[in-house]
Structures are given as C-alpha cells and as structure tokens.
C-alpha cells in the first residue's frame, strides 16, 4: 500500500512555540501510523530532505512585517497595498504548487496560517490553492483573529472573511478548545472538532542525570524550593503573579526560574518583570539560553540542559496565565508529575478542570491563602500518589492515543468526499 504524503504548512516550524510543539506531536503520531510527513514554512527544523524552506513564508520577513504594519490599526488601504498583498499571494501560491509537486502531497495540514492573520498573503495563497485543486486539508486552528485585540481595527476585513479561515468543501477544521469551537460555528457557520494539546503519556520520561547539577548551578540548596515558570516571557503569561506568590512564601532563597526565552512580543516585558521581582525581593532567573526541548523538531539538544532536566529538577510549577489557547505547560507538568499552581483561565475552567486534576488554583490574583494551599499541597504524605493520579488522568484525556482517535477518522472523511485534482 502506498504511503499517504502529508504536507504540513505554516509560517514557522521551529523552536518551542505552541504551534511548532503541537505540529511535532501530530507529525510523530502520523509517521508512526505509516504516513510520510513533509514541511513547508519560512523557518524549519525538520529533516532537510523532507523540507521546503521559503523565507517569504515567515511572519518575520521584513516585507511581511512592513505589510503587517500597514494593514492593522486603520480601516482603509491604498490600492498599492492591495496590489502588494496580491503579488506576494501569487508568489507564495506558486511556491505551494512547487512544494506539492516536489513531494507529491496527498493531504495538507495547515498549522494556524488559516487562523491568525500574521501573514495575510500566505493564508490567502493557501486558500486559493485549495479552492483551485480541492486538496484535502485539515486546518489546525490555534488562535483566531477575533481573539487578539490588535487585529480588531484593520483595513483587510475582506481578506479575513474569506481566508481566516476559509469555508471550503475539502477542508476539515480542528480547534484546540471548546470556546474556539463555539466561536467558529457562531461567527462563520463552520463545523469543527476539538482536539486538545497532547503529550506522549504512553512513554514516561527517563530520569534526568542533571537534576542536581542544574540545582547547584542555580544556587539552590537541597532544602530550597525550585519554583519553575515553564513558559515564554510574554505579557499574557502573567509572570508577575508567580513573582508575588514566591514573595509571599517567605522562602530563605526566593527564586523563580523561567525556562523559556523571550517571546515574539519584544523584550520590554522581560525587563518589566525583572524589575518587579527585584522590588519584591525575588530573584528572577532566566535560563532559556541554557535549555533545549527534546519534544520538538530540533530533537538533538545543543544546550547544556533539556526541558526534561528542568522539569525533573523542579519542586513546583507556576502557571498564572491570564489567557491560554489550551495549556502546553499544564500538560507537560502532568507528564513530569509536578505540583502545579495556576490561575483559573477560561479554557482551564471549561475544558481541563472538569477532568478532575488535583492542582492549586487561584482566581486572577494571589493571596496568602493561596500560599497556605501551596504549602499544604507540598506537605501531603501521599503527594506521589496524587501526582501519579494526575498523570493517568492526563493519559486519559490528553495522550497521543486521544489524538489518533480524533484525527484519523477526520482524515478518512476527507478522502471520502474530496479528491486531489489531477490538474495541478
């Protein structure tokens, strides 16, 4: 039986952003089931022989950044801007055709490029390609334009309406939470299914050999708490709340360890939380430059530590985000059997909390009662049993097997009703 060739397409499939991490997991699940996967993006860490690199597909390309600035924060656009958008769209559509020919693609998986309009020409190009060819496509949506304030005022609503996302017969739509599912149905009349973020719970983590080395390098004694903030440094992560929590705990060695690098929203927020931590007497330690992930396309670590080492060295994980599309770090903390203290963000309340996980939670702000709960949680005599229960609940709800159960019937339905055009 001939393998089905799957073409992932995105702006970037590299690093540890949520889209790249989930794409890696989907890639793993598909390939272990006999599919052959290829990748198209403006930045790639996929195997070179399976990759189609197109720099213009990256949202950080200078020309795309300039175009982005011209499209938002205003309500009209000059004809020259329309022309520029369509020129880039036509160029990228041509490159998508070349990608399909080179790898004989049978199925597209569009990773967020038909969702958030960070790259208008790419989303428009893919929409036109699908309309012209009938290519079976799974559109994997992570965050929509209406979920981000910066896209509310724009001069390109006509483009957003037809391509973000498009409503075409040969596309099946996947969202990562129930709220997004409702909004997509209400706003666009598009049916969809929810597939949550997942992790490979069937294969538990191997014990880290660098736990003590990392703790020692960070200046933590055996009886000091290693408190981990395992996220990028962006405002919606509400890292200030984690700093307040550490301050209220009145530790002998109050440190908050941030494992990831600054996000795509500039470095001002990183400086702001550093200053805030200083005022509250907490040492904020950024170690993103020392840490690689082994659960992404760049699976060969080039740094001193992996994210596995960091999680296994931690005593407590903080997750005080104001908003999350789902919660990669939450699922990771379950996988590494770590206690979690978190803000009850809306998606957690609706999609995760009903699963019955035992965590320390708060609503919007940290109090001394929150700290009391943390200390009580950590002192439980059956803490290991509680964390193991969390692990098995994670396996039940957020495993690779859950992804298989939801994704494969969706792909099968695509091939029943939509066929690749012989004309492209």
For residue 292, pLDDT beyond 80? no
Give dist(CA 74, CA 154) in Å, integer: 5
Confidence of residue 423 (pLDDT cuts 50, 70, 90): very low
Query: Does any domain span residue 423?
Result: no
What are residue 40's DSSP bridge partners?
A: 9, 52
Reported as a single tens digit per residue, the pLDDT across 47-79 is 999 999 999 999 999 999 999 999 999 999 999
For residue 271, pLDDT beyond 60? yes
Reported as a single tens digit per residue, the pLDDT across 318-340 is 999 999 999 899 999 999 999 99
Q: What is the mean pLDDT of the chain?
A: 92
Reported as a single tens digit per residue, the pLDDT across 149-185 is 899 999 999 999 999 999 999 999 999 999 999 999 9
What residue numbers bound the domain in which 130 lies?
Answer: 5-198+400-417
What are residue 9's DSSP bridge partners?
A: 40, 110
Query: Does any domain span residue 424?
Result: no
Q: Are residues 267 and 407 in the same domain?
A: no
Number of folded domains that form the chain: 2
For residue 422, pLDDT beyond 60? no
Q: Are residues 41 and 147 in the same domain?
A: yes
Query: Does any domain span residue 206?
Result: no
Q: Are residues 224 and 143 in the same domain?
A: no
Query: Does any domain span residue 219?
Result: yes
Q: Are residues 189 and 303 in the same domain?
A: no
User: Higher-confidence residue: 384 or 420?
Assistant: 384
Q: Angle, nearest 10°, between helix axes 120-133 and 62-71?
A: 90
For residue 300, pLDDT beyond 70? no
Q: Are residues 136 and 73 in the same domain?
A: yes
For residue 261, pLDDT beyond 90? no
In this prediction, residues 256-273 reach a mean pLDDT of 79
Q: Are residues 183 and 308 in the same domain?
A: no
Q: Are residues 119 and 189 in the same domain?
A: yes
Q: What is the 3-state secondary structure (H, E, C) of the chain?
A: CCCCEEEEECCCECCCCHHHHHHHHHHHHHHHCCCEEEEEECCECCCHHHEEECHHHCCCCHHHHHHHHHHECCCCCCHHHHHHHHHHHHHHHHHHHHHHHHHCCCEEEEECCCCCCCCHHHHHHHHHHHHHHCCCEEEEECCCHHHCHHHCCECCHHHHHHHCCCCCCCEEEEECCHHHHHHHHHHHCCCCEECCCCECCCCCCCCCCCHHHHHHHCCCCCCCCCEEECCCECHHHCHHHHHHHHHHCCCCCCEEEECCCECCCCCHHHHHHHHHHHHCCCEEEECHHHEECCCCCCCCCCCCEEHHHHHHHCCEEEECCCCCCCCHHHHHHHHCCCCEEEECCHHHHHHHHHHCCCCEEECCCCCHHHHHHHHHHHCCCCHHHHHHHHHHHHHHHCEHHHHHHHHHHHHHHHHHHCCCCCCC
Query: Does any domain span residue 203?
Result: no
CATH number for the domain that contains residue 20: 3.40.50.2000
Query: Does any domain span residue 422?
Result: no
CA-to-CA separations, 4 to 66, 106, 307, 321, in angstroms, rounded: 38, 6, 33, 39
CA torsion angle for 361, 366, 372, 378 (degrees, to 10)?
A: 50
Q: Are residues 56 and 181 in the same domain?
A: yes
What size, in residues, is the chain? 424
Q: Are residues 281 and 304 in the same domain?
A: yes
Q: Are residues 364 and 235 in the same domain?
A: yes
For residue 363, pLDDT beyond 50? yes
Query: Does any domain span residue 84?
Result: yes
Nearest to 313 by CA among 221, 208, 390: 208
Reported as a single tens digit per residue, the pLDDT across 402-421 is 999 999 999 999 988 655 44
Taking CB atoms within 8 Å and a gap of at least 24, the contacts of 161-167 are: 162/124, 162/127, 163/114, 163/120, 163/123, 163/124, 163/126, 163/127, 164/114, 164/115, 164/116, 164/117, 164/123, 165/114, 165/115, 165/139, 165/141, 165/190, 166/114, 166/127, 166/130, 166/131, 166/139
Q: Are residues 154 and 104 in the same domain?
A: yes
Cα–Cα–Cα angle for 150, 151, 156, nearest 5°? 145
Give dist(CA 140, CA 110) in Å, integer: 6
Confidence of residue 379 (pLDDT cuts 50, 70, 90): very high
Give dist(CA 177, CA 180) in Å, integer: 6
Q: Are residues 109 and 228 in the same domain?
A: no
Confidence of residue 33 (pLDDT cuts 50, 70, 90): very high
Query: Does any domain span residue 205?
Result: no
Whether the CB-CB separation of 394 and 334 falls below 8 Å is answered with yes
């Amino acid at each position: 039986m001939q393998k089905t060739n799957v073409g992932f397409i995105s702006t970037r499939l590299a690093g540890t952003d949520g889209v790249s991490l989930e794409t890696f997991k989907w890639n793993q699940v598909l390939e272990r089931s006999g599919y052959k996967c290829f990748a198209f993006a403006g930045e790639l860490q996929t195997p070179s022989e399976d990759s189609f690199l197109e720099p213009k597909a990256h949202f950080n390309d200078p020309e795309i950044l300039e175009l982005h600035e011209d499209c938002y924060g205003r309500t009209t656009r000059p004809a020259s801007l329309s022309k520029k958008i369509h020129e880039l769209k036509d160029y990228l559509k041509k490159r998508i055709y070349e990608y399909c020919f080179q790898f004989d693609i049978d199925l597209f998986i569009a990773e967020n490029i038909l969702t958030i309009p960070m790259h208008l020409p790419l989303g428009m190009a893919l929409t036109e390609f699908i309309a012209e060819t009938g290519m079976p496509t799974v559109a994997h949506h992570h965050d929509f334009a209406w979920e981000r304030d910066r896209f509310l005022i724009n001069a390109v609503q006509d483009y957003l309406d037809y391509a973000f996302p498009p409503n075409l017969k040969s596309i099946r739509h996947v969202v990562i939470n129930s709220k997004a599912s409702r909004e997509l149905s209400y706003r666009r009349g598009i049916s969809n299914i929810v597939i949550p973020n997942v992790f490979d719970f069937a294969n538990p983590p191997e014990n880290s050999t660098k736990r003590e080395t990392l703790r020692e390098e960070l200046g933590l004694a055996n009886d000091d708490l290693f408190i981990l903030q395992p996220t990028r440094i962006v405002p919606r992560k509400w890292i200030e709340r984690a700093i307040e929590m550490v301050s209220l705990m009145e530790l002998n060695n109050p440190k908050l360890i941030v494992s990831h690098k600054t996000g795509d929203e500039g470095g001002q927020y990183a400086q702001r939380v550093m200053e805030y931590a200083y005022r509250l007497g907490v040492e904020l330690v950024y170690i993103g430059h020392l840490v690689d992930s082994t659960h992404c396309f760049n699976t060969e670590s080039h740094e001193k530590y992996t994210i596995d080492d960091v999680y296994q060295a931690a005593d407590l994980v903080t997750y005080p985000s104001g908003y999350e599309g789902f919660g990669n770090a939450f699922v990771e903390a379950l996988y590494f059997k770590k206690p979690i203290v978190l803000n009850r963000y809306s998606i957690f309340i609706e999609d995760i909390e009903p699963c019955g996980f035992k965590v320390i939670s708060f609503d919007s702000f940290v109090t001394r009662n929150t700290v009391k709960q943390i200390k009580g949680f950590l002192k439980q005599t059956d803490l290991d049993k509680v964390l193991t229960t969390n692990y098995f609940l994670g396996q039940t709800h957020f495993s690779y097997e859950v992804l298989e159960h939801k994704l494969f019937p969706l792909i099968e339905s695509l091939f029943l009703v939509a066929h690749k055009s012989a004309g492209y």
